Amino acid sequence: MRNVSNQDKLESIKSLQSTISKLENALSQMTHNGANTTLVKKRLKAVHIGLTMLENVWNQRPHHYTQEDLAEARIVITGLFPSIENSYAKSKTGSPQRTLLERRMKALELAVQAIDEFSTK
């Protein structure tokens, strides 16, 4: 986990920050439209936890999450992979969308590793 290049660290943090921003926008729109926001809230919390755990592992930033929070975040994050992989398979080689999805998958994989690393301490 600690053998991740600085470039990958930076791209992963930016990717998760972007994902959080997209989820916050979706939550705002869904709330405004009166839609059920349970799933988006779970995903937003999970990605926040994933980002925090990467910052914890790489930058020794503290976190306040319980083992239960980490376990739930891990489940939610791993549940995102099938839809991201499906979108990736449909994207065109060399497209900006494919690059974004590659970075998102890598960031989420690293977040799961960071959660796993902390959970085994």
pLDDT, average across residues 34-58: 96
Q: What is the pTM of this model?
A: 0.93
Q: Is it the case that residue 121 has pLDDT exceeding 90?
A: no
Find out whether 48 and 21 touch, Cβ atoms under 8 Å. Answer: no
Q: What is the pLDDT of residues 63-100, one digit of tens each?
A: 999 999 999 999 999 999 999 999 999 999 999 999 99
Do the Cβ atoms of 47 and 75 come closer than 8 Å? Answer: no
Mean pLDDT of all residues in 50-60 = 94
Q: Are 76 and 42 in contact (CB under 8 A)?
A: yes
The owner of tokens 């890598």 is: 106
For 3-36, the pLDDT digits (tens) are 899 999 999 999 999 999 999 999 999 999 999 9
